[in-house]
Structure 1
Amino acid sequence: MKDSELPVRSVALNPSYSDAEQAEPVKAEEAYFERETIRRVAWKLVPFLFIAWFVNYLDRASIGVAALQMNKELGLGPEAFGFAAGIFYVGYVLFEVPSNMLMHRFGARRWLARILFMWGAVLVATAFVRTPLQLDIARFLLGSVEAGLLPAIMYYLGLWFPTKYIGKPISIVYVACIISLIVGAPLCSFLMSQFNETGSFLGWRWMMLLEGAMGAALGLVARVHLVDRPDEAKWLTHEQRAWLTGEMAKAAGDASRHGTSSARKAFSKPIVWLLGFLYFCVGIAFFGISTWMPQVINQMTKLTLMQIGWVSSFPFALGAVAMILNAKHSDRTLERRWHLTGALALGMVGMFGSGLMSKAPELSYLLICLSTIGLVGSLGVFWTIPPTFLAGAGAAGGMALINAISSLSGLVGPWLIGVVRSKTTDVTTTLYWMAISLVLAALLAALLPYPNPRDAARAKSS
Structure 2
Amino acid sequence: MALQPFVAGLAADVETPAKLAETQGERDSARSTKLDRRLPTCRTTIWLLALTNFALLANVVTALWLPSLIKGSGISDPLHIGWMTSIPYAVAITTMILVARNSDRTGERRWHAVVPALVASIGVIWMSFSLHEPVMLVFAAALCIGGALTLNALFWNLPTALLSGNAAVVGIAFINSVGQLAGFTAPAVFGWLFQKSGSPAYGLLSLGALFAVGGLAVLCIPKTAVNR
Q: TM-score, with normalisation over the residues of structure 2? A: 0.80
2:162 is the counterpart of 1:389:
yes
2:109 is the counterpart of 1:336:
yes
2:147 is the counterpart of 1:374:
yes
Secondary structure class of the residue paired with 1:451: helix
CA shift, 1:453, in A, is: 4.2
The residue aligned with 1:448 is 221
2:133 is the counterpart of 1:360:
yes
Match for 1:275 among 39, 42, 49? 49
Per-residue CA deviation, residues 64-84 of structure 1 (Å, 9 max, x unaligned), is xxxxxxxxxxxxxxxxxxxxx
User: Residue 257 and residue 373 in structure 1: after superposition, are their counterparts in 2 closer, same or farther (change >3 A)?
Assistant: farther
Name the amino acid aligned to 2:178.
Answer: I
For 2:60 and 2:217, locate their aligned partners in 1 and report how far apart those are by CA, in whole Å: 19
Contact 2:29 2:165 in 1 (8 A): no
2:90 is the counterpart of 1:317:
yes
Q: RMSD in angstroms over aligned alpha carbons?
A: 3.1
For 2:16 and 2:63, locate their aligned partners in 1 and report how far apart those are by CA, in whole Å: 42
Per-residue CA deviation, residues 63-109 of structure 1 (Å, 9 max, x unaligned), is xxxxxxxxxxxxxxxxxxxxxxxxxxxxxxxxxxxxxxxxxxxxxxx
2:193 is the counterpart of 1:420:
yes
Contact 1:343 1:374 in 2 (8 A): yes
Report matched runs for 1:254-333 at 5 Å: 255-256=31-32, 259-260=35-36, 269-284=43-58, 286-333=59-106
Ranges of 4+ aligned residues in structure 1 off by more than 6 Å: 237-240
For 2:213 and 2:222, locate their aligned partners in 1 and report how far apart those are by CA, in whole Å: 16
Name the amino acid aligned to 1:434.
Answer: L
CA shift, 1:249, in A, is: 5.3
User: Residue 293 and residue 246 in structure 1: after superposition, are their counterparts in 2 closer, same or farther (change >3 A)?
Assistant: farther
User: Residue 242 and residue 428 in structure 1: after superposition, are their counterparts in 2 closer, same or farther (change >3 A)?
Assistant: same
Contact 1:334 1:452 in 2 (8 A): no
For 1:276 and 1:442, locate their aligned partners in 2 and report how far apart those are by CA, in whole Å: 11
The residue aligned with 2:6 is none
Contact 1:292 1:414 in 2 (8 A): no
Name the amino acid aligned to 1:277.
Answer: L
User: Residue 381 and residue 242 in structure 1: after superposition, are their counterparts in 2 closer, same or farther (change >3 A)?
Assistant: farther
Q: TM-score, with normalisation over the residues of structure 1? A: 0.42
Identity of aligned residues (%): 24
CA shift, 1:347, in A, is: 0.7
For 1:291 and 1:416, locate their aligned partners in 2 and report how far apart those are by CA, in whole Å: 13
Secondary structure class of the residue paired with 1:301: coil
The residue aligned with 1:252 is 28
User: Residue 251 and residue 367 in structure 1: after superposition, are their counterparts in 2 closer, same or farther (change >3 A)?
Assistant: farther
Contact 2:117 2:148 in 1 (8 A): yes
Q: Give the paired residue count.
A: 215
The residue aligned with 1:145 is none
Contact 1:336 1:452 in 2 (8 A): no
Name the amino acid aligned to 1:428.
Answer: A
Give unpaired runs (5+ residues) of structure 1.
1-236, 458-462
Contact 1:348 1:435 in 2 (8 A): yes
CA shift, 1:303, in A, is: 3.2
The residue aligned with 1:402 is 175
CA shift, 1:272, in A, is: 0.9
For 2:84 and 2:16, locate their aligned partners in 1 and report how far apart those are by CA, in whole Å: 46
The residue aligned with 1:108 is none
Report matched runs for 1:31-42 at 5 Å: none
